[in-house]
Amino acid sequence: MSSSSSSSSLPSSQPPPPTTTATTSTTIQIPVGILGATGTVGQRFITLLQNHPYFVVRTLGASPRSAGKPYAEAAARSWKQSVPIPAHVASLVVQECDPAAFVGCRVIFSGLDSDVAGTVEARFVAHDFAVLSNAKNHRMSPLVPLIVPVVNADHFQQIVDVQRSSSAAGNPLLASLAPHLVGTPEASIAASESSLKNGFLITNANCSTTGLVVPLKALQDAFGPISRCVVTTLQAVSGAGYPGVPTLDIIDNVVPYISGEEEKMEVEAAKILGSFDRATNAFVDAPGMKVSATCNRVFVLDGHTECVSLEFARRPAPSVGAVIAALEAYRCDAQALGCPSAPQRAIVVTKAVDRPQPRLDRETERGYAVTVGRVRPCNVFDVKFTLLSHNTVLGAAGSAILNAEVAVAKGLIK
């Protein structure tokens, strides 16, 4: 198997790899690559990784039309972040999304579109890279965890051990990825290799699902199973990528349909809030929980707002005061592990009657927290509230980065 730690010569367009030594308990230098680097999520990876204490951007991958150009040139028209392209990234020559171009990287962050992500990500896993994906393609695979780092980071260790395991039939993860590798040079690797040493495949959730499951996790931990949840989203235009929704479709308008979004929310939440069964090496959905989602695109740049009503399985249901206390008290594994991007508060409860609002609250805890407000009784279910999350930080690139930090803290990335 070719490995991400191979001593093969590196592309001359790339900088030499950084020395991988820990100068303090929280300062290390792990070389990473970004796939889909010119897109909206790829750009957010770049801004969030600037001056990161663990990770340094070494290689950028994008489409063939961008390959061979310095990143500043390749992203000249598409760069839509509020800060300039970091100088050390601007000069990197963009590569095609081929594992051979990423030799020397130990972690791959994928912001690829779903039409290409399935095969490309599988090829990188076959070459023993640790891949953290923002795409939907592998989220519901039985062997791939769907992790929101401030919710279910406990799924990490168990499933990565399984992904790296060996048996007489070969490596289970590579076997499951084999359909994505048909016709690629990596098909023979998937058929012949018995284990992975450094590689794994982790996905983070859909952006709207991410915001929803954070308060649901806090309430499930405090009060037991949630039986029913109805959610209506007001989703920012950045969630559609670039160039995104046409101007004449979104200005002075609300679009009450986002393809595939409602289905993602309804199935992903149950997997995230479920458990991993060691006996069967499979994820078990949260028992009895039903989610009904209605998703709308609105004329907001960043920040997804969601109006939630839910019902608890246990009777009597908790009071509004108890719900607020549970949300405020919630802590997650990423905080306990001391991950550098982890928010001090994963959930911020606002008592203001007209909050949360995207413009005022999306940057709370640098975009890694969910703001919850308007917690009140529900006449149909038990309780209802409004939440806001940053769809390209916690809802996309930030989740993948925080997932990688959790993996470092758990010794899964070295």
Tens place of pLDDT per residue across the chain (414 aa):
444 443 333 333 344 333 333 333 456 899 999 999 999 999 999 999 999 999 999 999 999 999 999 999 999 999 999 999 999 999 999 999 999 999 999 999 999 999 999 999 999 999 999 999 999 999 999 899 999 999 999 998 778 988 988 776 788 899 899 999 999 999 988 877 777 899 999 999 999 999 999 999 999 999 999 999 999 999 999 999 888 899 999 999 999 999 999 999 999 999 999 998 888 888 899 999 999 999 999 999 999 999 999 999 999 999 999 999 999 999 999 999 999 999 999 999 999 999 999 999 999 999 999 999 999 999 999 999 999 999 999 999 999 999 999 999 999 998
Report pLDDT for 26. Answer: 56
Helix crossing, 320-329 with 207-223: angle to 10°? 110
Tell me the C-alpha distance between 60 and 47, whole Å: 13
Secondary structure, 3-state, the chain? CCCCCCCCCCCCCCCCCCCCCCCECCECCEEEEEECCCCHHHHHHHHHHCCCCCEEEEEEEECCCCCCCEHHHHCCCCCCCCCCCCHHHHCCECEECCHHHHCCCCEEEECCCHHHHHHHHHHHHHCCCEEEECCCCCCCCCCCCECCCCCCCCHHHHHHHHHCCCCCCCCHHHHHHHHHHCCCCCHHHHHHCCCCCCCEEEECCCHHHHHHHHHHHHHHHHHCCEEEEEEEEEECHHHHCCCCCCHHHHCCCCECCCCCHHHHHHHHHHHHCCEEECCCCEEECCCCCEEEEEEEECCCCCCEEEEEEEEECCCCCCCHHHHHHHHHHCCCHHHHCCCCCCCCCCEEECCCCCCCCHHHHCCHHHHCCEEEEEEEECCCCCEEEEEEECCCHHHHHHHHHHHHHHHHHCCCCC
The 10s digit of each residue's pLDDT in 262-290 is 999 999 999 999 998 888 888 899 999 99
Tell me the C-alpha distance between 209 and 220, whole Å: 16
88 is known as an active-site residue: no
Catalytic residue among 97, 105, 138, 207: 207
Token couple for 114? 């779903």
Helix crossing, 398-409 with 40-49: angle to 10°? 50
Catalytic residue among 180, 304, 332, 390: 304
Residue tagged 């990287």 (tokens): 105
Token couple for 343? 């928010």
Report pLDDT for 192. Answer: 79
Tell me the C-alpha distance between 258 and 390, whole Å: 18
Residue tagged 């949840």 (tokens): 229
Tell me the C-alpha distance between 35 and 42, whole Å: 7
CB 163 within 8 A of CB 173: yes
Tell me the C-alpha distance between 264 and 293, whole Å: 9
Report pLDDT for 242. Answer: 84
CB 242 within 8 A of CB 255: no
**Would you tell me how many other CB atoms lie within 10 Å of the CB of residue 187?**
18
- Distance in angstroms between the alpha carbons of the first and the last residue of the chain: 19
Tell me the C-alpha distance between 361 and 367, whole Å: 9
One-letter amino acid for residue 221 of the chain = D
pTM of the model: 0.91
332 is known as an active-site residue: no
Torsion of CA 315, 319, 323, 328, to 10 degrees: -140
